[in-house]
Each structure stands twice: as C-alpha cells, then as structure tokens.
Amino acid sequence: MYRLVFMLIFIVCNSFASSEIEKKYLRKITDEVCKSFNVGYICLLSARFYEENRDKEKANLLLKEANTYLKNECDGGIGISCFLNAISYNEKKNYVKMNEYLRKGCTLKDSLSCINLAESYEEGLGLRQDLDLAKEYYGKACDLGDQEGCDKYKKLNRKKR
C-alpha cells in the first residue's frame, strides 16, 4: 500500500515541480525513496531526472535498479509495474520481452498493458500479426473501463468487415 501512496505523491510533485531548486530536491527525494523502499516507479522517475540533467551513468544505474524492482512488483501481481517494465523493453527494441510483460500486465487487469499488447498484435510488433487477438485485447481493455480500448475495438471491428 505504501508503494501506491509514494507513486501518487511523486506523480503529483513531479507535475508541479517547475523551478530548478524544486526539481533538485525532488530528485534527491526520489533517490532516497528508491534506495529505501525499492519502489520501481520512483526509481524510474529518478532515472529520468538524471537523464534530463545529462548524467547518463547515474541514469543507467537507476534504470537498471528500476527494472529489477518493476520485475519484482510485476511478479508480485502489480499490473502497472508490468506495463512500466514493458516500456523499458520497447525502448531497447526488445519486442518479444515487451510483449511478455504486456501479456502479464493484461492478465493482472492493467488496461494499458491490454491496449499495448493489442497494438503489438495489430502491427505484428515482436509477434505474428493477428487482428483477431488484437480485437480480443482491445476488448479486454474496454471491459476494464478504458475508453481507448473500446474505441480501438470498434475501429478494428469495422475494419475487419
């Protein structure tokens, strides 16, 4: 539960941090939370802060930590962590691994994972193109209450006719 609270706090803080001083303190706080609580999303945020400041070495170290924590969180049943881990594999162009995490995230009822997996099937990204499976995963996202999933399901349904 505390992980979710930290995630929400930092999302809000990150949105409002505008000055360099605020960003510096937020970066310091994210570093401490990453080290102390092993929260994948916070480590990911911290790494992004270092990327913005062109400290690639520190950013890469934190990204590696973030991926480890996100994998553990995903394995522990947190769907959004599966999605976030999938993003890192997308950035590395490892679409097979990306789709594995998206599939797991969708199974854990994360609608973003379902939508992105559907897009992989629709485009044939890292797996065989399959419009029926794309439609199925858009439908799962829609069933989870994601309007984008519903819209893409309808669009694909019209396209197949």
- The tokens for 117 are 């997996």
147-160 and 111-123 helices, crossing angle to 10° = 20
Whether 27 has a pLDDT exceeding 70, the answer reads: no
Whether 105 has a pLDDT exceeding 80, the answer reads: yes
Q: How far apart are CA 86 and CA 8, in angstroms?
A: 20
Per-residue pLDDT of 39-92, as tens digits, reads 666 666 666 666 666 767 877 777 777 778 788 888 889 898 899 889 888 888
Widest distance between CA atoms in the chain = 56
Q: How far apart are CA 80 and CA 67, in angstroms?
A: 13
Per-residue pLDDT of 83-99, as tens digits, reads 988 988 888 899 999 99
Q: How far apart are CA 38 and CA 23, in angstroms?
A: 21
Q: What is the mean pLDDT of residues 129-148?
A: 96
Q: Which residue ranges make up each domain of the chain? A: 20-76, 98-161
Q: What is the CATH number of domain 98-161?
A: 1.25.40.10
- Taking alpha carbons only, the member of 129, 125, 118 closest to residue 154 is 118
State the pLDDT at residue 157: 85
